[in-house]
Structure 1
Amino acid sequence: MSAKPKVLTVFGTRPEAIKLFPLVHSLERDGRMASRVCVTAQHRGMLDQVLDVAGLVPDHDLDVMRPDQTLDALTAALLTGIGGVLDAEQPQWVVVQGDTATAMAGAMAAYYRKIPVAHVEAGLRSGNIYHPWPEEVNRKIIGAIARLHCAPTETAAQALLAENVAPGAVHVTGNTVIDALHWVTARIAAEPGLADVMTPLAARFSGKRILGVTSHRRENFGGGMEAIAEAIATLAERPDVAVIFPVHLNPNVRAVMNARLAGLDNVALIEPLDYPNFARLLDVSTVMLSDSGGVQEEAPALGKPVLVMRETTERPEGIEAGTARLVGTDSARIVAETSRLLDDPVAYTAMSRAHNPFGDGQSAQRIVNLLAAG
């Protein structure tokens, strides 16, 4: 009896783990293929939180991150480390997600060995190789290598077809982040203690409208971060508003935010949240202010408008659907757009009730079926 085809799923950051654990769960339940997992630990602590809540134990852990590591040093470590795992496992498929250095290096290492690559969340494009940086180029490299392109939306699929990707290789699957959000909200409902970090914060700011904030993009380091901090400080002057801000560990973010926002009564600068508590933050927030990609997909699934603090987005579907709005990093514009949502119920309702274009919670099984079909 021949062995089952082997699928190696490779990821290293918290967002990748969130978007890939539903696929790993589905592979394990499905049984048509043998599932193996390699983590690079590009984000160590934040990755481990997701692994723990999702119940995933990696088969390989490369633990590549080093203090102040340059992008080229990180890429070299990823490429050689993943290559060694591929030589040991010899899988029939390598699965990568999104646009990280781990995903790009995983695709390259597989390509060097002529192993087919499946790209989850394929086809996102901003059209500017420096926004987001270096993610836009990472995506394009993976797009040139992948045999199976799992596009989250029709817009993403069309972007791939415009780059002359073979139509038969492109499939609209929805985004697995919605699968993950459905799974974790069900877990929280059954086990409220999973999100207990948020409980005292929700109580502290009871009666106020909560602005959830995340910010970590490299292209916003420096002046962009300072402008975001100034906007948050201005918004926090409103007596009806409170801000909950899980501050990224990167010192380019943390130093700026602490300098401007620490000590403000209506602002809670907190440590990065694990996934259940972050899902709870989405749930209790009135508006999300973020430069993250994933938040643009997740928050609308819970009916929460997203103001995107970037100049471009590779997720135009949210903008077109009305669930998200690009506001850039100009302080005055961030304040004005947030205030409009807080003060104009019609504007708020239009965004909060807009149809989420990113999926129905069944994306992982669709991808498993495509992998099984070869």
Structure 2
Amino acid sequence: MKKIIAVTAARSEYDLLHSVYLRLNEDAGFDFKLIVSGPHLSPTYGLTVDQIKKDGFVIADYCFNLLDSDEKLARVVSVGNQIPLIAQTLYRENPDLVIVAGDREDVISVCITAAYMSIPVAHFFGGDIAKDGNIDNTVRYAASKFANVHFTTLHEHAETLKKLGENDWRIHVVGNPALDRFLSTKVCSKRDLLKNLDVDLSEDRKYGVVIQHSILTEVDQQERQMRNTMESLLKTDLFYFINYPNSDPGSLDIRTVINEYCTKYPDRFFSFKNLDRIVYVNLLRYASVLVGNSSSGLLEAPSLNLPAVNVGNRQRGRVHGENVIFVDHDQQQILSAIDKCLNDVDFRNLVEECKNPYGDGDSAQKVIQALRNLKFDDELIYKNITY
């Protein structure tokens, strides 16, 4: 039996790999545990560790590393805090493999720690390319160079890793594991959905969903950008459900603007920190449009035939379906894109027919099979560039 530990810090990557975690937890060939850290443990971001406990996974340790501040310095300190905490847990647990996902600061700190402890790392979503200037891109590339096994979503991403000097045999193209859970999520009625959310909204009222995060290179512009988005939404006829942003610097300004508009216009906006996965998926299922800059617009919305308006630089350059419209932080562009999503018959038909480029819902099984066949030997740990 191989001992595998996954490190999860935020609701976003936890949801992305939930289907993989379930399979690992159920497979008699693996002893699977989680290390929970970062925003999961913060009341500011909804204490999403409670959902992990409800899901029934064994938690090896809690890593209280997050410095809950809106300053760039806080993110650096959080990385520094995490390394010794993670190292102690890995030393005690002595896993055969550590799993990380994506491109946030916790990923690079885990990869560095595991590398110096000669523990192989499996990294998900490497090789992805976004041309938005965000630090996440650099972290993703760096994590890939530390990682010993790669699970990519697309063949294009696998080719990127090969260009970085990674061996073919380390790379497995599996699609997006989030779609496994996304497509299998129970459908509930719109009436039950609104009742669960405790929102006084008629069933025939159309609504949109808003998820807008900060970009590190544009921290000082977040209040203006979010206010610009909210003013644009006010000029439409839709009601909007607004998801709070992640923990990146600049998120406090975004949350402040969201709270201001939700308080001033309760008949137009409703905000939330986190939702039960079934509620969240069904919220998107009945939505007319997704607005903001969340990866959900690219990764998940196509599977629901949901049009998405991506505002600003975040996510630009990534592979996406025909459901996505990219616009600048310009009210007229935002309004025109929302109008197209709602009223352009040709575009609506295009979205109805679009396919999700990130997979079809069988990723977790591909991951499990690859891990079963993986040779845990010196060759796995010792890395050399291929050129």
1:197 equivalent to 2:196? Answer yes
TM-score by length of 1: 0.88
For the residue of structure 1 that corresponds to 2:59, the secondary structure is coil
Distance in 1 between residues matched to 2:47 and 2:311, nearest whole Å: 22
Distance in 2 between residues matched to 1:218 and 1:162, nearest whole Å: 27
Give CA deviations for 1:82-116 in whole Å, capped at 9, x if unaligned. Answer: 11111111111111011111221111111111111
Distance in 1 between residues matched to 2:115 and 2:207, nearest whole Å: 46
**Shift in alpha-carbon separation, 1:305–1:316, aligned structure 2, 3 A:** same
Decide whether the 8 Å contact of 1:18 with 1:50 is kept in 2: no
Decide whether the 8 Å contact of 2:151 with 2:174 is kept in 1: yes
Decide whether the 8 Å contact of 1:181 with 1:279 is kept in 2: yes
For the residue of structure 1 that corresponds to 2:68, the secondary structure is coil
Q: Which moved more, 1:147-156 or 1:227-236?
A: 227-236
Counterpart for residue 4 of structure 2: 7
1:176 is displaced (CA, Å) by 1.0
Cα root mean square deviation, aligned: 2.5
Decide whether the 8 Å contact of 1:236 with 1:243 is kept in 2: no
Counterpart for residue 234 of structure 1: 232
Distance in 1 between residues matched to 2:220 and 2:262, nearest whole Å: 16
Q: Which moved more, 1:291-300 or 1:75-84?
A: 291-300
TM-score by length of 2: 0.85
1:351 is displaced (CA, Å) by 2.4
**Shift in alpha-carbon separation, 1:108–1:163, aligned structure 2, 3 A:** same
Decide whether the 8 Å contact of 1:12 with 1:47 is kept in 2: no
Counterpart for residue 381 of structure 2: none
Counterpart for residue 382 of structure 2: none
Distance in 2 between residues matched to 1:212 and 1:180, nearest whole Å: 20
Give CA deviations for 1:229-284 in whole Å, capped at 9, x if unaligned. Answer: 33333333333x22121233742211123345542255223221323322122112
The counterpart of 1:218, out of the listed 209, 215, 220, is: 215
For the residue of structure 2 that corresponds to 1:94, the secondary structure is strand
Decide whether the 8 Å contact of 1:205 with 1:242 is kept in 2: no
**Shift in alpha-carbon separation, 1:196–1:266, aligned structure 2, 3 A:** closer
Decide whether the 8 Å contact of 2:33 with 2:57 is kept in 1: no
1:30 equivalent to 2:16? Answer no
**Shift in alpha-carbon separation, 1:314–1:162, aligned structure 2, 3 A:** farther
For the residue of structure 2 that corresponds to 1:307, the secondary structure is strand
1:195 is displaced (CA, Å) by 8.0
Distance in 2 between residues matched to 1:259 and 1:222, nearest whole Å: 18
Decide whether the 8 Å contact of 1:9 with 1:95 is kept in 2: yes
1:193 is displaced (CA, Å) by 7.0
For the residue of structure 1 that corresponds to 2:269, the secondary structure is strand
Decide whether the 8 Å contact of 2:236 with 2:335 is kept in 1: no
1:10 is displaced (CA, Å) by 0.9
Q: How does 1:93-112 map to 2 (within 5 A)?
A: 93-112=97-116
Counterpart for residue 66 of structure 1: 67
**Shift in alpha-carbon separation, 1:336–1:222, aligned structure 2, 3 A:** farther
The counterpart of 1:126, out of the listed 124, 130, 149, is: 130
Q: How does 1:223-302 map to 2 (within 5 A)?
A: 223-239=221-237, 241-248=238-245, 250-260=251-261, 262-264=263-265, 266-274=267-275, 275-302=277-304
Counterpart for residue 158 of structure 1: 159
Identical counterparts, % of pairs: 19
- How many aligned residue pairs are there? 360
1:16 is displaced (CA, Å) by 1.6
Q: Which moved more, 1:70-79 or 1:206-215?
A: 206-215
Counterpart for residue 79 of structure 2: 75
Give CA deviations for 1:90-146 in whole Å, capped at 9, x if unaligned. Answer: 111111011111221111111111111101122112245xx33x3112111111011
**Shift in alpha-carbon separation, 1:193–1:324, aligned structure 2, 3 A:** same
Decide whether the 8 Å contact of 2:307 with 2:323 is kept in 1: yes
Give CA deviations for 1:310-354 in whole Å, capped at 9, x if unaligned. Answer: 315267221xx3132322322221122111222212112212431
**Shift in alpha-carbon separation, 1:221–1:63, aligned structure 2, 3 A:** same
1:46 is displaced (CA, Å) by 4.5
For the residue of structure 2 that corresponds to 1:357, the secondary structure is coil
Decide whether the 8 Å contact of 1:213 with 1:243 is kept in 2: yes
Q: How does 1:302-321 map to 2 (within 5 A)?
A: 302-313=304-315, 316-318=318-320, 321=321
Decide whether the 8 Å contact of 1:195 with 1:276 is kept in 2: no
Give CA deviations for 1:30-58 in whole Å, capped at 9, x if unaligned. Answer: 22121121111333235325314533341
Which residues of structure 1 form unaligned runs of 5+?
A: none
Decide whether the 8 Å contact of 2:258 with 2:271 is kept in 1: no
1:196 is displaced (CA, Å) by 4.8
Q: Which moved more, 1:255-264 or 1:325-334?
A: 255-264
Decide whether the 8 Å contact of 1:308 with 1:326 is kept in 2: yes
Decide whether the 8 Å contact of 2:297 with 2:310 is kept in 1: no
Q: Which moved more, 1:259-268 or 1:33-42?
A: 259-268
Kindly provide the amino acid, as one letter, of the partner of residue 213 in structure 1.
V
**Shift in alpha-carbon separation, 1:373–1:273, aligned structure 2, 3 A:** same
Counterpart for residue 364 of structure 1: 364
Structure 1 moving runs of 4+ over 6 Å: 192-195
For the residue of structure 2 that corresponds to 1:91, the secondary structure is coil
**Shift in alpha-carbon separation, 1:343–1:232, aligned structure 2, 3 A:** farther
Distance in 1 between residues matched to 2:279 and 2:225, nearest whole Å: 27
